[in-house]
Structure 1
Amino acid sequence: MVPVLGRYAGLLTVALIGLVVFGPLAVFLPLWSALTLGAVATAATGLALTRIKTLTARCEKLSGEVDLLSRRLLKVETTSAKPAPESGEAALRAQIDELTVEFGLLSGIVRDLTAVVSTQDAEIASLKAKPVPVAPVPVAPAPVAPAPVMPEPIAPAPVAAAPRAPARPAAFAPPALQPPAPEPQASAPIPPRPIPPRPVQSRPIPPRPARDPAGEAEIIQAFEEDGLEIHLQPVVSLPQRKVVAYEALARLRIGGLNPAAPAEPETFLPVLERYGRTTELDRRMLQRASLVVRHLARRGSDTLLTYSLSPLSLFEPGLLRELGRTVAEDPSLAGLVIALPQASWRGLDAGQRGLLMPLRGRIGFSLDRPDDLRFDAVELAALGIGQVRVPAAMLLRPQVGRPLSDIAVEDTGPALARVGIRLVATGVGDEADVPDLIDLDVPFAQGAAFAAPRPVRAEVLTAPPETPAPPTEPGPERRPFRSVLRRAV
C-alpha cells in the first residue's frame, strides 16, 4: 500500500488542493470553476498523451532489442545443434603432434651438424698451426693410449663433444676398411683461429678407440653373421633373494678371440658405435627380448625384463616408432622395460619426448647408469619411470668430489618407493655387500653374487607364435533308431 501511495502522492495532492480550492468556487462562481476545470482537464490530457507517446517509443525500442536477441539465440542454437567434426579435429591434432616431433628431430640434427662443424674447424686450425719440418727426421711413434673402459656393459655414458668426430660410413663390407684421411699440411705456420664456445646439446659422440683394422673386421663380420646372443641375469629381492626380474645383456661370439666364451660389450660396443651399428644392435636385442617376454607371459610369470637402450638410439626415430607399433599390437609385451642413462633422461628434447610418451603405460621405463644420486622422485614418476638402477659401489662407497644428494643414502630407496619407483642395486659381486645393502633399505639387487648371466635357450627364441585353433564345425549328430521311430509315431 505504501509504494502505491508514494507513487501517486503527487496526484492525490493535486486532487485534494483542487477539491479545497474549486469546491467553494463552484458554489460562488460556477462559470469560472467550469472553465478552470476544463483547462486543467486539457493540460492533464496533454500530459497523458505525451506520456503515452514516450511509453510507445520505449516499447518499440524494447521489442526491437528482444527481436535482435531472439535472432542471436536462434543462431547460437542452430550452430550448437550441428555435429562437431571430431574426426577432423583428431586428424589435425595428429598432424600437429607429428610436425612437433619432426621439428624436434630437425633441431637435434642441426645441433649435431653445428657441433661437428665446430669440431672440424678446430682440427683444421690445429693442423694449420703445425710448422713444416725442414728435413725428414725419423721419429719414434708415440705409444697409443689404450681404449677407455666403459663404465657399464651396455653403452657408454654420453658426452657433449669429443676432440675428434670420426665420420661413420654408411655401410661396411668386411674385410675392406676405409683408411683414415691424410692430414693436410700448410706451407707456413698460421696462428689458430679462436672459436667461441657454443652451449648446444649435440648427439653424444663415442670415444675413439685404438684402430685395429683386423680386429674391427672380425667384430663387424661376427655381428653381420648373426653372432649376437642374448643373456639373462636375474634381479632378486632382498633379503628373500627371490627372482623378480631379468636384465637382457648383449654378447657377441667372435671367432678370432675365443669362440667358447662370447665377448662382452666392452669389446665390441665401441666398434659398433664407431660404424653406426648401435641402432641395429638395439633392434635385434629388442626383437629377442620380445620373444623372451612372450615366453614368460605364456608361462603365467609376472617377472619383468629390462634392456638398456643405447643413448644414440634416441636420435633414430624409426626404432622408437617401430617399438611403439609392436607394443600396440601385442599387449603381452607389458613386461618389457627399456632403460636409458640418467644424462639421456635429463636431456630429452620435444621430439624425443613425443616418441617416448606413446610408449608410457604399454611398457616400462627405467633409469640406468646414473652420474649422481640426485633423484627427483616426483619428476621421475611424471616421466613414467618405474625403476632406478644404481651401482652398488655408488651406494656403499660414494666417491669424493661427486655431487651429493639432498637426502641420505639410506632414505633413497624409501623416497623412491613412495612414488611407486623401485630401487635396484646393480653390480653386486661380493657377498659381504649384501648385508650393507639390506641395512640401506635397498629392496632389489643384481650381480654375480646372486647369479651370473646365462644364455637363453634356443627353443625360446625359435618358438613359433601361438595361433588360436580355428573353430571346428559340429558333425552330424547320431541318434538311436528308437528315437527315430518314436518321432515317426
Structure 2
Amino acid sequence: MVPVLGRYAGLLAAGLLALVVLGPLAVFVPLMSALALGALAAVAAGLAQARTTALKARCEKLSGEVDLLSRRLLKAETAVVPPRPEAGDPALRAEVQELTVELGLLSGIVRDLTTVVSTQDTEIASLKARPEPRPEPPPAALPPAEQERIPAPPEAEPDTAIPASPPRVAQPAPQPVAGTRTPEAPPVPRPIPPRPAPRAAAPWSATPLTATPLTATPRADHEAEIVRAFEADALEIHLQPTVSLPQRKVTAYEALARLRVDGQLTEPEAFLPVLERYGRTTELDRRMLQRAAIVVRHLARRGSETMLTYGLSPLSLFEPGLLRELARTVADDPALAGLAIALPQASWQGLDGGQRGLLLSLRGRIGFSLDRADDLRFDVAQLAGLGVGQVKVPAELLLRPGPERRRLSDIAIEDLAPALARAGIRLIATGVADEADVPDLIDLDIPYAQGAAFAAPRPVRAEVLAAPPPEPPPAPAEPEPERRPFRSVLRRAV
C-alpha cells in the first residue's frame, strides 16, 4: 500500500488541493470554479500527452533493440547450423538422390534373395524328408551272344525345349543320385516373385546303370515354342478403347500384347508366365513401349488428345535401366506426353525408395495408372501424390462384390468416382462383357468403361508401325563470317 501511495502521492495531493479550493469556489463563485476546473483539465491533458509521447519513444527504442537482437540471433543460427542439401549445390542434390535410388535397389535385391533362399531351404527340407528308395539289384550278366543282339542305345538328341539365348537367372540342374530312378518328366519350375525362377532342367537324364533318354513333355515343347516365337519378334500390339458413359465416346486406348505362336494369337495369360520364368518380361515391356510410342506419335500427328495406356510388368520395376531409358526417351520427345504406364495395385502399395524415385522422375512427362484393383479402399491423397491419373477397377467388383465385402470402401460405390475425381483421378470400369451391365454402371455414376461390350481389341495397322522415327531437331546454323572492308584489314596490318 505504501509504494502505491508513494507513487501516486503527487496526484492525490493535487486532487485534494483542487477539492479544497474548488469546493468553496463552486459554491460562492461558480464562474471562477469552472475556469479553474478547465485550466486543471488542460494541464492534466498536457501531462498525459507528454507521458504518452515519452512512452511511445521508449517503445520504438525497445522495438529497434529487439529487431537488432533477432538479426544477430538469426545470423548466429545461420553460421552454426549447416545448410540442408536442398539449399546446397545442385550437384550435391543429384548425388544424394542417386545414392537414395541405389540404396532402394539394393534393398529390393536383398529382399528378393531372402525370398529365394527361404524357398530353396523349404524345398531342400522337403527333399530330405522323403525316404530314400532302395537301390535296384544290378542286372544279371548275359552271355556274350545275347549281349551282341542288344542294340546300342541311341545318342541323345540336343534339347529343343531350351531357347537359344539362356535366361538371366539360371542355376545348374541337380545331378542324379546313384541308385535312384530317373523321373519320367522334368519338374515344372515355379515362378518366385518378383524375380524369375530358374529355367527348366534338361528333358532327359541318365542313371549310372542305363542311359535311357526321355522325350520332352508337351508342356516343355509348348514353352519352347513360345520362347522361339518371342525371340523371332512375333509380338503384336492390339488396342482396346476406353469410352465415356453414357455417350460412349472414345477417350483413351489400352495397348495389349499378343504373341503369334504357330500362326495363332496367344493371350498374355498363356505366354506371360513362360516369359517370366525365362526372364524375358523386361524385354517384352521394352518392345511394347517402343510400339506404344510409335502409336502415340501417330495420334499426336493426327491432332488427337486420346491417351494410350500400357500395363507394365511388376518385374520391370526391379530393372532400373528400363525406367531410365523411358525417362530419356520422354525427355527427348514431348509428343509422348499422351503415354501412360499402368501398374497393379499391389505394386503401387509395395514401392520402395528407389522405385518411387524412378517413377517420380517420370511424373509430369507421362501419365500413371492403377490397374487390376482388388481393393476399393484407395488412399486418394497418396495416389494423387504419386501422380496417378486413372484407376481401373473390374466391373464385377463394382456390381457384384460377393463375399469379399471387406475389400469395399467405407464410402458408397456411387460416391467413389466423385471422390477420386476431386483429386483429379478418373475411375474406369474394366472387363465389361455384358451389355446389361452398362445401365447399372451408369446408375453408379461410373464415368468411363472398357470391355468387349463396347469394342474388342484390334491390331494396329502395319503402316502405322512402319512409320519413320521422328526426325531430330535441326542443328543450329553456324554464324556466317563477318564481312569487313579492305581498309579495316589494312589498318590492322599496319
| TM more than 0.5 | yes
Paired residue type of 2:365: R
What CA distance in whole angstroms lies between the structure 2 residues aligned with 1:456 and 1:334?
Answer: 20
Q: How does 1:378-457 map to 2 (within 5 A)?
A: 378-405=381-408, 406-457=410-461
Partner in structure 1 of residue 251 of structure 2: 244
Paired residue type of 2:123: E
What CA distance in whole angstroms lies between the structure 2 residues aligned with 1:296 and 1:331?
Answer: 13
- The offset of 1:409, in angstroms, is 1.5
Partner in structure 1 of residue 110 of structure 2: 110
Partner in structure 2 of residue 375 of structure 1: 378
* Residues 238 and 457 in structure 2, CA contact (< 8 A), matched pair in contact too: yes
CA distance 1:397–1:208, change in 2 (3 Å):
farther
What CA distance in whole angstroms lies between the structure 2 residues aligned with 1:205 and 1:440?
Answer: 40
* Residues 281 and 316 in structure 2, CA contact (< 8 A), matched pair in contact too: yes
- The offset of 1:186, in angstroms, is 11
Work out which of the residue numbers 270, 275, 279 in structure 2 matches 1:276: 279
Work out which of the residue numbers 175, 178, 181 in structure 1 matches 2:173: 181
Partner in structure 2 of residue 130 of structure 1: 130
Q: After superposition, what is the alpha-carbon deviation per residue over 1:268-310, rounded to whole angstroms, capped at 9, x for unaligned?
A: 1111000000000000000110111111111110000000000
CA distance 1:208–1:452, change in 2 (3 Å):
farther
What CA distance in whole angstroms lies between the structure 2 residues aligned with 1:315 and 1:119?
Answer: 19
Q: Secondary structure at the match of 2:107?
A: helix
Q: How does 1:81-92 map to 2 (within 5 A)?
A: 89-92=89-92
- The offset of 1:402, in angstroms, is 4.9
* Residues 231 and 251 in structure 1, CA contact (< 8 A), matched pair in contact too: yes
* Residues 384 and 424 in structure 2, CA contact (< 8 A), matched pair in contact too: yes
CA distance 1:87–1:225, change in 2 (3 Å):
farther
Q: How does 1:204-215 map to 2 (within 5 A)?
A: 212-215=219-222
Work out which of the residue numbers 349, 352, 357 in structure 2 matches 1:354: 357
* Residues 338 and 367 in structure 2, CA contact (< 8 A), matched pair in contact too: yes
Gaps of 5+ in 1: 1-5, 7-68, 138-170, 188-200, 473-489
- The offset of 1:175, in angstroms, is 11
What CA distance in whole angstroms lies between the structure 1 residues aligned with 2:229 and 2:272?
Answer: 13
Work out which of the residue numbers 231, 235, 244 in structure 2 matches 1:228: 235
CA distance 1:185–1:414, change in 2 (3 Å):
farther
* Residues 196 and 277 in structure 2, CA contact (< 8 A), matched pair in contact too: no
Q: Secondary structure at the match of 1:262?
A: strand
Q: Secondary structure at the match of 2:132?
A: coil
- The offset of 1:398, in angstroms, is 0.3
- The offset of 1:87, in angstroms, is 11
Q: Secondary structure at the match of 2:354?
A: helix
* Residues 334 and 362 in structure 1, CA contact (< 8 A), matched pair in contact too: yes
What CA distance in whole angstroms lies between the structure 2 residues aligned with 1:393 and 1:202?
Answer: 27
- The offset of 1:172, in angstroms, is 3.9
* Residues 196 and 278 in structure 2, CA contact (< 8 A), matched pair in contact too: no
CA distance 1:86–1:454, change in 2 (3 Å):
closer
Check if 1:203 corresponds to 2:194. yes
- The offset of 1:205, in angstroms, is 6.0
Paired residue type of 1:303: T
* Residues 132 and 186 in structure 1, CA contact (< 8 A), matched pair in contact too: no
Q: Secondary structure at the match of 2:265?
A: coil
Gaps of 5+ in 2: 1-6, 8-67, 138-161, 180-191, 201-216, 478-494
- The offset of 1:114, in angstroms, is 1.2
Q: After superposition, what is the alpha-carbon deviation per residue over 1:328-379, rounded to whole angstroms, capped at 9, x for unaligned?
A: 1111111101000000000000010010001111100000011211112122
What CA distance in whole angstroms lies between the structure 2 residues aligned with 1:294 and 1:312?
Answer: 27
CA distance 1:298–1:123, change in 2 (3 Å):
same
Q: Secondary structure at the match of 1:390?
A: strand
CA distance 1:299–1:131, change in 2 (3 Å):
same
CA distance 1:207–1:345, change in 2 (3 Å):
farther
What CA distance in whole angstroms lies between the structure 1 residues aligned with 2:198 and 2:269?
Answer: 12
Partner in structure 1 of residue 268 of structure 2: 265
CA distance 1:87–1:241, change in 2 (3 Å):
same
What CA distance in whole angstroms lies between the structure 1 residues aligned with 2:199 and 2:398?
Answer: 30
What CA distance in whole angstroms lies between the structure 2 residues aligned with 1:282 and 1:186?
Answer: 44
Q: How does 1:246-325 map to 2 (within 5 A)?
A: 246-254=253-261, 257=262, 259=263, 261-325=264-328
* Residues 86 and 93 in structure 2, CA contact (< 8 A), matched pair in contact too: no
Q: What is the total number of aligned residue pairs between the two structures?
A: 352
RMSD across aligned positions (CA) = 3.7
What CA distance in whole angstroms lies between the structure 2 residues aligned with 1:339 and 1:232?
Answer: 15
Paired residue type of 1:100: T
* Residues 175 and 217 in structure 1, CA contact (< 8 A), matched pair in contact too: no
Q: Secondary structure at the match of 1:395?
A: helix
CA distance 1:425–1:352, change in 2 (3 Å):
same
Q: Secondary structure at the match of 1:253?
A: strand
What CA distance in whole angstroms lies between the structure 1 residues aligned with 2:442 and 2:429?
Answer: 11
Paired residue type of 2:424: G
Q: After superposition, what is the alpha-carbon deviation per residue over 1:384-409, rounded to whole angstroms, capped at 9, x for unaligned?
A: 10100011111111031352331111
What CA distance in whole angstroms lies between the structure 1 residues aligned with 2:299 and 2:463?
Answer: 13
- The offset of 1:468, in angstroms, is 7.0
Higher relative contact order (CA 8 A, sep 6+): 1
Q: Secondary structure at the match of 1:403?
A: helix
What CA distance in whole angstroms lies between the structure 2 residues aligned with 1:179 and 1:97?
Answer: 35
CA distance 1:270–1:402, change in 2 (3 Å):
farther
CA distance 1:206–1:124, change in 2 (3 Å):
closer
Identity level (%):
72
* Residues 341 and 370 in structure 1, CA contact (< 8 A), matched pair in contact too: yes
